[in-house]
Amino acid sequence: MSKQTAEPTGSLATALGHAGRLLTGQPAKAAEQAREILKVVPLQPQAMLILGVAQRQMGDLNAALETLQTLSANQPKAATVFLELGRVLAARGESNAAITTLKNATKLNPASAEVWQALAEQYELAGSDELANAAMAQQIRHSTRDPALIEAASALCENKLSVAERSLRDFLKSHPVNVAAIRMLAETGARLGRLEDAENLLARCLELAPGFTAARHNYALLLQRQTKSREALQQVDILLREDQKNPNYRALKAAVLVRIGDYAQAIECYETLLKEHPRQPKSWMSYGHALKTVGRQEDSITAYRKSIALLPTLGEAWWSLANLKTFHFTPADIDVMQAQLAHTELSNEDRFHLDFALGKALEDDGRYGASFEHYQRANALRRRELRYNADDTTDLLQRSKALFSREFFGEHKTSGDLSPDAIFVVSLPRSGSTLVEQILSSHSAVEGTMELPDIRSIARRLGGKRGKEPVSDYPEILGRLSTSELRDLGAEYLKRASIYRRQGRPFFVDKMPNNFQHIGLIQLILPNAKIIDARRHPLGCCFSNFKQHFARGQSFAYDLTDLGRYYRDYVELMAHFDDVLPGKIHRVIYEDMVKDPEQEIRQLLAYCGLPFEEACLRFYETERAVRTASSEQVRLPIFTDAVDHWQNYEPYLGPLKTALGPVLSVYPGVPDFGASEA
């Protein structure tokens, strides 16, 4: 060490120790003590570090930055100095600089759990989930001294999940209340896709150690990932009570509020956060999503543009502009997007988002051949990342047809919760379902919620399928449930849906399109629910899906053959339920709605048992949050342009036509799929 970095002795050491202790609760006095030391020993490293930390704690970030930058120049190998400098940069909203500084600190001291924790928090705030997870794994690895846990944590860092899991389970047999091990096992389970197991482990961890903040943060993130919004919000509020300025907790709360439909409070959260941390491109993008949902299109465009200005390679921000549907890119925008695609180091996620956006931009310009090339590249890249198998969908169809016969439903006439509140709109995405929801939500007795995940969640839980396990017991398990169990499932669904119901209206719409796969479940647990099938021309619907990138789910939508098979299976399953539950499902053909909206709307309301209201004809005047890709389109009167728009791409749709087979040739009729079991 240099003379300036030599360990202090005697009275200097005493003074430094006193100043260091004052940092806990009395930063102003700590700063005063540090300055007194620096008068006697200029540039004394520990005194400067204490001063910089105290200045940060008092909120004087400019002074803290100046102090710590001077110190880091004099102490270029001191990891603690770079940790504190990174914290100051983070507090100033300079996330990129903070990440660079903290990465430097990890190189100087790779074993510092504190540094890895700070780096993980910055990656999370920047929306870099994979890097955040890797940094957090390093934090876990270096926060324990037990050799067995170090071995397990090392395996977790190297993504050797089976090794980590085996080691942790063995360790917990003899140390069942070791919260560090429980947290690590939860992280391993989450990476393996065993989200419910991970949730239970984290709940146990917090039961044993309520003050384990890192575990609570993991728990809140996991609950949000599983769309358990009410529970996630409770955990985030606990975190914020302890650290109300933490930007990660605030960003997570905003995301949860968006999920439950509290957009006003979510927007307020984003605005406050971005005022303090303005250089966060993904936070600007999330803010834009919330603004779009409530109909503030110009403000959402401004937010997306801000995101792009901060990070031009952020493909999702470009796609977010395209996904407004009514937005048109300028020639300069197209040039910039093409330039971003030329970057060889561009991530796959940024690349396919840019290709989707360019597909839309060139489509609007009438350059359909070039547009299709970009759509095709985007879909091919996205498809390679997914494990979708069309045979699994067909298998579920056949098993559902085998179970759900007329006789089966006759035996379960008295099952389920009899509440009539729910109106399900099922379909493929991009079929007019958002239009149907908007029309219904314009009625004084109906509230539109969103695409609720709860029916699918119940089905997944009943099936018992975990991770990569090939066999699910769903739907067959429904035949073994008692009347009371089915009634409880219906009540559970209604309770979970209640968090999204804010207007006190008697009926609400759940427009999760994939619920067509679960009509048997819906009938058993909510026999008085209404079910509406929104259907659109197979080429128009399927190609509209092919042009769309979905934030999650809809894995069938990235290949023309997969799309054709999925649509065909959908039509076959709906035909089966038309046969075994006659009159249960009301069908809305999109082209008929466009041709004669009043007649179709009157029939729709009559099916729902609702009196006609003129407001349903003026659905585009209804002010409400709309979360789907059609959010801007349903704020306009019905237009006919999109009905036959797929014809511009017909030369490229051969694989889709082949996969659709007779479903295409007889639309809007239905082929003879064979007699259903009576």
If you average pLDDT over residues 528-541, what whole number do you get? 96
- Residue 421 and residue 566: Cα distance in Å, rounded? 29
- Position 6 scores a pLDDT of 45
- Position 189 scores a pLDDT of 93
Quote helix, strand, coil % in the chain, to nearest 5. 65, 5, 30
Q: Which residue has the higher pLDDT, 622 or 589?
A: 589
If you average pLDDT over residues 574-598, what whole number do you get? 95
- Position 621 scores a pLDDT of 78
Quick one: pLDDT band at residue 634, thresholds 50, 70, 90? very low
Picking from 408, 432, 412, the residue whose alpha carbon sits closest to that of residue 577 is 408
- Position 3 scores a pLDDT of 41
Sequential DSSP letters for 518-537:
GHHHHHHH-TT-EEEEEE--
Q: What is the CATH number of domain 3-240?
A: 1.25.40.10
- Residue 283 and residue 254: Cα distance in Å, rounded? 10
586: phi then psi, degrees, rounded to nearest 5: -100, 130
If you average pLDDT over residues 121-144, what whole number do you get? 86
- Position 667 scores a pLDDT of 96
- Residue 176 and residue 522: Cα distance in Å, rounded? 40
Picking from 295, 321, 298, the residue whose alpha carbon sits closest to that of residue 309 is 321
- Position 369 scores a pLDDT of 96
If you average pLDDT over residues 399-424, what whole number do you get? 96
Q: Is the pLDDT of residue 95 over 90?
A: no
Average pLDDT, the chain: 90
Quick one: pLDDT band at residue 366, thresholds 50, 70, 90? very high
| H or E element that contains 446 | strand 446-450
Q: Residue ranges of the domains in the chain?
A: 3-240, 390-465+474-666
Structure token pair of residue 584: 């249960």
Q: Is the pLDDT of residue 469 over 80?
A: no
- Position 93 scores a pLDDT of 79
- Position 673 scores a pLDDT of 85
The alpha carbon dihedral of 481, 482, 483, 486 has a sign of negative
Residue 154, C-beta contacts closer than 8 angstroms, at least 6 positions apart: 141
Structure token pair of residue 418: 């009899």
Minimum mean pLDDT among 112-116, 137-141, 502-506, 610-614: which range?
137-141
Quick one: pLDDT band at residue 645, thresholds 50, 70, 90? confident
If you average pLDDT over residues 288-298, what whole number do you get? 92
**Yes or no: is domain 390-465+474-666 CATH 3.40.50.300?**
yes
Cβ atoms 410, 527 nearer than 8 A = no
Please name the residue ranges forming H helices in 471-537. Answer: 483-497, 519-525
- Position 310 scores a pLDDT of 92
Amino acid letter at 537? H
- Position 641 scores a pLDDT of 57
Q: Which residue has the higher pLDDT, 600 or 280?
A: 600
- Residue 271 and residue 539: Cα distance in Å, rounded? 41
If you average pLDDT over residues 304-311, what whole number do you get? 95
- Position 676 scores a pLDDT of 46
- Position 631 scores a pLDDT of 43
CB-side neighbour CA atoms (13 Å) of 275 = 7
Percent of the chain with pLDDT over 70: 94
Quick one: pLDDT band at residue 144, thresholds 50, 70, 90? confident
Please give the torsion angle defined by the CA atoms of residues 210, 214, 220 and 225, in that order, rounded to the nearest 10 degrees. -140
Determine the straight-line distance between the first and last CA of the chain, rounded to whole angstroms: 87
Cβ atoms 509, 448 nearer than 8 A = yes
Q: Which residue pairs from 577-584 have beta carbons closer than 8 angstroms and sit at least 24 positions apart in sequence?
A: 577/404, 577/519, 577/520, 579/406, 579/675, 579/676, 580/404, 580/405, 580/406, 580/408, 580/409, 580/676, 580/677, 580/678, 581/409, 581/519, 581/523, 584/523, 584/531
- Residue 519 and residue 455: Cα distance in Å, rounded? 10
- Position 467 scores a pLDDT of 45
Quick one: pLDDT band at residue 314, thresholds 50, 70, 90? very high
Task: Measure CA 243 to chain center.
Answer: 24
Quick one: pLDDT band at residue 372, thresholds 50, 70, 90? very high
The alpha carbon dihedral of 656, 659, 660, 665 has a sign of positive
Residue 91, C-beta contacts closer than 8 angstroms, at least 6 positions apart: 56, 61
User: Helix 179-191 to helix 161-174 angle, to the nearest 10 degrees?
Assistant: 150
- Position 5 scores a pLDDT of 43
- Position 638 scores a pLDDT of 60
pLDDT per residue as tens digits for the range 14-67: 989 998 899 988 999 999 999 999 999 999 999 999 999 999 999 899 999 999
Q: Is the pLDDT of residue 632 over 80?
A: no
In this structure, the number of other CB atoms found within 10 A of the CB of residue 467 comes to 11
In this structure, the number of other CB atoms found within 10 A of the CB of residue 634 comes to 22
pLDDT per residue as tens digits for the range 223-255: 998 888 889 999 999 999 999 989 999 999 999
Picking from 588, 663, 551, 579, the residue whose alpha carbon sits closest to that of residue 293 is 551
With helix as H, strand as E and coil as C, how does 394-416 read?
HHHHHHHHHHCCHHHHHHCCCCC
Q: What is the CA radius of gyration of the chain?
A: 28
Q: What is the pTM of this model?
A: 0.82
Q: Is the pLDDT of residue 258 over 80?
A: yes
If you average pLDDT over residues 414-442, what whole number do you get? 94
- Position 337 scores a pLDDT of 97
Q: Which residue pairs from 568-574 have beta carbons closer than 8 angstroms and sit at least 24 positions apart in sequence?
A: 568/659, 568/660, 568/661, 568/663, 569/393, 569/394, 569/397, 570/428, 570/516, 571/663, 571/670, 571/671, 572/397, 572/401, 572/673, 573/397, 573/400, 573/401, 573/516, 573/517, 573/519, 574/516, 574/519, 574/533
- Position 10 scores a pLDDT of 55
Q: Is the pLDDT of residue 540 over 60?
A: yes
